[in-house]
């Protein structure tokens, strides 16, 4: 059984991002980049399924610039058997990524695709759902537990009211939430082994996918700074300020 795990190269979650002076986007020059944390959780889950004997091959996939090869090498150091990079300098939108992954899924024929529920740079939370729609596969989002057996994947997912359990027939799409697992530490020997694992590079044109952006970013600004709080002497003053200043009551 083959599992496809898309991974995205994003600004490291420990980095404080800065907006460019011209307001055209986020400045990523000389900024540490790493694998999207939700995708790291997805890859860890795929590796646990493989270690349990449920999966025979794990393929890591990334879409983006040449430097995404570093992210794929990290994925292979975690345990992925091989990597595929869809190389493009175009700023990819969720729909474009979903179309690229669909083309790869048609080519690779995986039985399961596990990906992070969202990327921490754009927070779109769209790619998994769009991919499921394009492929016509069942999907389970925000997974906090994944069980694979008897040709089905049972997913416990987090919803507003608590937990919901779904049983999906394969092939299927699963997007991971934070509480699914704790990703393993990448050791130096595995990093060295990853350098010898196969990494294929292809282009969107080779897959027959048009990745031309459909959205235009007009302006990027930093969030407004929060004003300092203050104490009120009594409840009457608090109610008055909530009514006249905050206008929430």
Residue 182 sits in a domain whose CATH number is 3.40.50.620
Q: pLDDT for 5-61, tens place per residue?
A: 999 999 998 888 888 888 888 888 888 999 999 999 999 999 999 999 999 999 999
Amino acid 97: pLDDT: 95
Structure tokens at 206: 């080779």
Structure tokens at 92: 């990819």
Instruction: Give every CB contact of residue 17 below 8 A, 6+ residues apart in sequence.
Output: 11, 26, 27, 31
Exposed, middle or buried by CB within 10 Å (0-12, 13-18, 19+), for 199?
middle
Which of 89, 86, 122, 123 shows the shortest CA–CA distance to 105?
A: 86
3-state DSSP of the chain: CEEEEECCEEECCCCCCEECCCCCCEECCCCCEEECHHHHHHHHHHHHHHHCCCCCEEEEEEEECCCHHHHHHHHHHHCCCEEEEEECCCCCCHHHHHHHHHHHHHHHCCCEEEEECCCCCCCCCCHHHHHHHHHCCCEEEEEEEEEEECCEEEEEEEECCEEEEEEEECCEEEEECHHHCCCCCCCHHHHHHHCCCCEEEECCCCCCCCCCCCCCCCCCCCCCCCCCCCCCCCHHHHHHHHHHCCCCC
Neighbours of 155 (CB within 10 A): 26
Phi, psi of 225 (to 5 degrees): -70, 140
Asked if residue 70 belongs to a domain, the reply is yes
Asked if residue 146 belongs to a domain, the reply is yes
Which of 102, 39, 45 shows the shortest CA–CA distance to 68?
A: 39
Q: pLDDT for 54-107, tens place per residue?
A: 999 999 999 999 999 999 999 999 999 999 999 998 989 999 999 999 999 999
The more confidently predicted of residues 217 and 198 is 198
Asked if residue 80 belongs to a domain, the reply is yes
The more confidently predicted of residues 167 and 30 is 167
> Per the structure, how many domains does the chain have?
1
- What is the C-alpha separation between 184 and 206, in angstroms, rounded? 34
Q: pLDDT for 119-153, tens place per residue?
A: 998 899 999 999 999 999 999 999 999 999 888 99
As beta bridge partners, residue 199 has 83
Neighbours of 77 (CB within 10 A): 20
Amino acid 217: pLDDT: 85
Which position has the token pair 């407004």? Answer: 224
Percent of the chain with pLDDT over 90: 73
| Average pLDDT along the chain | 92
- What is the C-alpha separation between 211 and 209, in angstroms, rounded? 6
Asked if residue 249 belongs to a domain, the reply is no
Amino acid 122: pLDDT: 87
Residue 169 sits in which domain range? 2-244
Amino acid 215: pLDDT: 87
Q: pLDDT for 206-231, tens place per residue?
A: 999 999 998 888 888 888 888 888 88
Q: How far is CA 46 from CA 27, 41, 42, in A?
A: 33, 9, 6
């Amino acid at each position: 059984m083959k599992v496809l795990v898309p991974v995205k190269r994003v600004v490291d979650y420990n980095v404080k991002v800065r907006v460019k002076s011209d307001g055209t986007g986020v400045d990523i020059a000389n900024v540490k980049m790493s694998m999207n944390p939700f995708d790291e959780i997805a890859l860890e889950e795929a590796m646990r399924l493989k270690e349990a004997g449920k999966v025979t091959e794990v393929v890591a996939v990334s879409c983006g610039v040449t430097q995404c090869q570093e992210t794929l090498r990290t994925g292979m150091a975690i345990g992925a058997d091989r990597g595929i990079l869809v190389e493009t300098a175009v700023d990819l939108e969720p729909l474009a990524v979903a179309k690229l992954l669909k083309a790869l899924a048609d080519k690779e024929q995986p039985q399961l695709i596990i990906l992070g529920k969202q990327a921490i740079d754009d927070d779109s939370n769209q790619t998994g759902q769009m991919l499921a729609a394009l492929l016509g596969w069942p999907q389970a989002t925000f997974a906090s537990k994944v069980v694979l057996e008897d040709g089905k994947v049972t997913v416990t997912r987090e919803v507003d009211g608590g937990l919901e359990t779904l049983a999906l027939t394969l092939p299927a799409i699963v997007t991971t939430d934070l509480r699914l697992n704790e990703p393993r530490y990448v050791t130096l020997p595995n990093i060295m082994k990853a350098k010898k694992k196969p990494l294929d590079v292809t282009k969107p044109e080779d897959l027959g996918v048009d990745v031309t952006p459909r959205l235009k970013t007009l302006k990027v600004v930093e969030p407004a700074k929060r004003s300092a709080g203050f104490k009120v002497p009594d409840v009457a003053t608090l109610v008055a300020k909530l009514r006249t200043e905050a206008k929430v009551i």
